[in-house]
């Protein structure tokens, strides 16, 4: 471990500690991928380490493997439009610095037909190198990545064929926990407002279904699922979609909504307000992700928190494992989630 005990390493650790205004122990924790250091201190340490050109164990691993560059492949739509991914990207980039990875950020189209030739070009450019893929589920793209032979990790996506390591939130548990929270508040008529186009959202829906069935409620898709995309709506169109459904009497028996994302939940709240309906007196709502606006909605939103920065850091750590030992077993890491209780859940309305 590069903890400052070696003569060659100790002065550099001390220089980094002095520059960052922290202890040598804190520097050692950050540079060896251990916890216990706050975000701001961690940032100062990483910045100082980069300025001093610190070469720790991770740098030596990269040299032995001949990895000179790493492409961080990000669908441009995620980068420009998603509050969820901002912290994921930041966490991954911070961890890349801590591991001496030279990152080449590549913004690519989300459409698989346009993405495939981009991926072919990136794979060619990265020989030798490594890849970090953000939010990839498409099997055609995954086939190309697996066949390339490059060390590759998927963050917030899944290779169901288990050829590529990946890290993602435990979406099944998130859906189950959100639904159980509403059930424990007394709700029996719950609607899941879904965007079931990606595997992550499908897993959230599966957790929802299981929670209902464990409570003795038969799952009926027409009754329990409001599929935004199936009806031709996107996440940003939630308010209009829910308002139209309310006017049509779609939710007259429902008392609660489990929303696939916090952004969807805020759209549902706004639609209910438009119709002079109150949260949580008329309807209870729980979201998922805990993005920044969740705590500032009216009322503040109950949600399931995903540590998105940790998601990014864990992805880079998985990649370093693949680089260090390409023959090691592929790993799928599900990060835990946490219930955040605020003010958008109450008892079911009477009558």
At the fourth CATH level, the homologous superfamily of domain 171-306 is Response regulator (3.40.50.2300)
Distance CA 51, CA 39 (A): 18
* DSSP code, position 132: E
Query: Which residues in the chain are classed under CATH 3.40.50.2300?
Result: 61-168+308-334, 171-306
Q: Where does 10-54 sit in CATH, by number?
A: 1.10.260
Tens digit of pLDDT per residue, the chain (351 long)? 444 444 444 447 888 999 999 999 998 888 776 778 887 888 888 888 878 777 666 667 767 766 788 999 999 988 777 788 999 999 999 888 888 888 999 999 989 899 999 999 999 999 889 999 999 989 999 999 999 999 999 999 999 999 999 999 999 999 999 999 999 999 999 999 998 778 889 999 999 999 999 999 999 999 999 999 999 998 989 999 999 999 999 999 999 999 999 999 999 999 999 999 999 999 999 999 999 999 999 999 999 999 999 999 999 999 999 999 999 999 999 999 999 999 999 999 986
CA distances for 205 relative to 193, 281, 348, angstroms: 9, 25, 22
The DSSP H or E segment spanning 72 is strand 70-75
Is the CB of residue 277 less than 8 Å from the CB of residue 251?
no
Q: Which CATH class is domain 61-168+308-334?
A: alpha beta
Q: Which of 294, 102, 94, 82 is nearest to 195 (CA)?
A: 82
Q: Indicate the pairing of strand 225-227 with strand 256-259.
A: unpaired
> What is the model's pTM?
0.84
- Residue 9 sits at φ, ψ, to 5 deg, of -85, -30
């Amino acid at each position: 471990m590069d903890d400052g005990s070696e003569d060659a390493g100790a002065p550099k650790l001390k220089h980094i500690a002095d520059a960052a205004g922290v202890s040598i122990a804190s520097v050692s924790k950050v540079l060896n991928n251990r916890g216990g250091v706050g975000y701001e201190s961690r940032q100062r340490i990483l910045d100082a380490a980069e300025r001093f050109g610190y070469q720790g164990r991770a740098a030596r691993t990269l040299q032995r493997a001949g990895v000179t560059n790493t492409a961080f492949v990000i669908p441009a739509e995620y980068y420009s439009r998603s509050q969820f991914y901002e912290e994921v990207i930041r966490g991954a980039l911070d961890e890349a610095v801590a591991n001496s990875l030279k990152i080449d950020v590549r913004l690519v189209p989300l459409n698989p037909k346009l993405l495939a030739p981009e991926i072919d070009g990136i794979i060619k450019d990265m020989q030798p190198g490594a890849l970090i893929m953000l939010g990839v589920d498409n099997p055609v793209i995954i086939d190309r990545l697996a066949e390339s032979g490059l060390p590759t990790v998927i963050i917030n996506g899944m290779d169901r064929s288990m050829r590529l390591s990946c890290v993602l939130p435990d979406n099944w548990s998130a859906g189950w926990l959100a639904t159980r929270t509403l059930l424990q508040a007394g709700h029996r008529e719950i609607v899941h407002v879904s965007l079931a186009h990606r595997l992550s959202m499908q897993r959230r829906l599966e957790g929802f279904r299981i929670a209902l069935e464990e409570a003795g409620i038969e799952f009926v898709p027409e009754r329990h699922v409001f599929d935004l995309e199936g009806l031709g709506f996107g996440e940003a169109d939630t308010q209009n979609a829910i308002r139209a459904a309310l006017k049509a009497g779609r939710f007259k028996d429902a008392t609660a909504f489990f929303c696939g994302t916090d952004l969807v939940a805020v759209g549902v709240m706004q639609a209910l307000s438009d119709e002079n309906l109150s949260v949580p007196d008329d309807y209870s709502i729980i979201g998922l992700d805990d993005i920044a606006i969740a705590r500032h909605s009216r009322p503040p939103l109950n949600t399931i928190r995903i540590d998105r920065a940790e998601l990014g850091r864990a992805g880079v750590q998985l990649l370093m494992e693949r680089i260090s030992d390409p023959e090691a077993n592929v790993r799928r890491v599900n990060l835990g989630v946490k219930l955040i209780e605020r003010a958008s859940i109450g008892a079911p309305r009477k009558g």
